[in-house]
Amino acid sequence: MAKMQDVRKTIEDSLGNLSTTRAQEIAKTMLDKDAAKDQVSKTAGDLMEWSQRGRARLVEIIRGEVRDQLRQMGVATEEEVNALRKRVRELERASRATGKRSGTRKPTGAKTASTKATAAKSAAKPAAAKRASAKGTDPTDA
């Protein structure tokens, strides 16, 4: 039963930060009482290495799972967001450049607001003249 507790503590320590001192203690409990110091040191070193590899694997598994969950939820990655930012900047630059060029051009085919207003005034004058002539008054007097 004591060995099982030691194994459990070893596994728990492997998931946390296993200190050199704790690794030495675990190695002493795992080995015989009359084990040589260099054997205890080697076992402690192996435990430290095993702990670091286990922690690194666990971190990778968790990162992969989080990445998969975010992807399934449709959350954009940092790379995707950066690519979109770059694309927006390019479009803004192109828009500014097009805006500068079109500011010097005359409108082609499309009526502007001022052109529409002038056309409406011109169309209103003949209609007023017709109404005035029907009444017998001069439309320019009004």
**Would you say residue 7 has pLDDT above 60?**
yes
List, for residues 78-136, the tens digit of each pLDDT value: 999 999 999 999 999 999 998 877 655 555 555 555 555 555 555 555 555 555 555 55
pLDDT band per the 50, 70, 90 thresholds, residue 24: confident
Please answer whether residues 20 and 49 qualify as being in contact, where contact means their C-beta atoms are separated by less than 8 angstroms: no
Q: Cα torsion at 56, 60, 63, 69 (round to 10°)?
A: -150
Report the C-alpha gap between 81 and 83 in whole angstroms: 5
pLDDT band per the 50, 70, 90 thresholds, residue 39: confident
How much is the pLDDT for 47? 86
Report the C-alpha gap between 67 and 19 in whole angstroms: 30
How much is the pLDDT for 37? 84
CA proximity to 46, closest of 66, 68, 73, 18: 18
pTM of the model: 0.46
